[in-house]
Amino acid sequence: MGYINIVNIDDFKQAVGKFPTGVCVIATNYQDQLFGFTANSFVSVSLEPALISFYLDKKSYSLQAFYQADYFTVNILSNDQTDISNHFARSLKDKFQGISYQLNEHDTPLLDGSISALECEKYNHMDCGDHVLFVGQVQKVKVDNTKHPLVYYGKKYRELT
């Protein structure tokens, strides 16, 4: 069954594009292979339990890995990580080659230099049009209060001043 849009897609993109966001790299490990992609659809959902969510395009290379894996990390990028954001926004096979990261107890990567990181266990996922909504329960967090976040607005990276 096809979907019928009740708004014009360009108008829709323009309207939602007026919402500035942060930028993160969401990463996982599936069958000893590391996967990660740049996302701005990250949002905190619930405090008790501590839940967060993100949306992944069904055309993404990493979709199957996120479906299958039980754990993932959210690495919120700082304003000196635009190169990391661009790198993880490309559909490459081994994106972690040449990238500085540590593995946590679930062998899930935590990127060095992020402004904060959340280690999550998969809580749920749901089909949402051309994307899949993933919800995670946060198990551990790490914050660097000395850094400033990378901001995305109007198809450009911005800095908070």
Ligand X SMILES: Cc1cc2nc3c(=O)[nH]c(=O)nc-3n(C[C@H](O)[C@H](O)[C@H](O)COP(=O)(O)O)c2cc1C
101 interacts with ligand X by CB under 6 A: no
- Considering the complex, what minimum distance in angstroms separates the CB of residue 61 from ligand X? 4
What distance in Å separates the CA atoms of residue 17 and residue 12, rounded to the nearest whole number? 8
What distance in Å separates the CA atoms of residue 145 and residue 138, rounded to the nearest whole number? 19
67 interacts with ligand X by CB under 6 A: no
39 interacts with ligand X by CB under 6 A: yes
62 interacts with ligand X by CB under 6 A: yes
Distances (CA, A) of 92 to 75, 76, 95, 97, 105: 19, 20, 6, 10, 25
- Considering the complex, what minimum distance in angstroms separates the CB of residue 62 from ligand X? 3
91 interacts with ligand X by CB under 6 A: yes
Q: Are strands 71-76 and 150-153 parallel, antiparallel or unpaired?
A: unpaired
Q: In the complex, which residues of this chain contact ligand X (CB under 6 A)?
A: 23, 37-41, 54-57, 60-62, 85, 89-91, 152
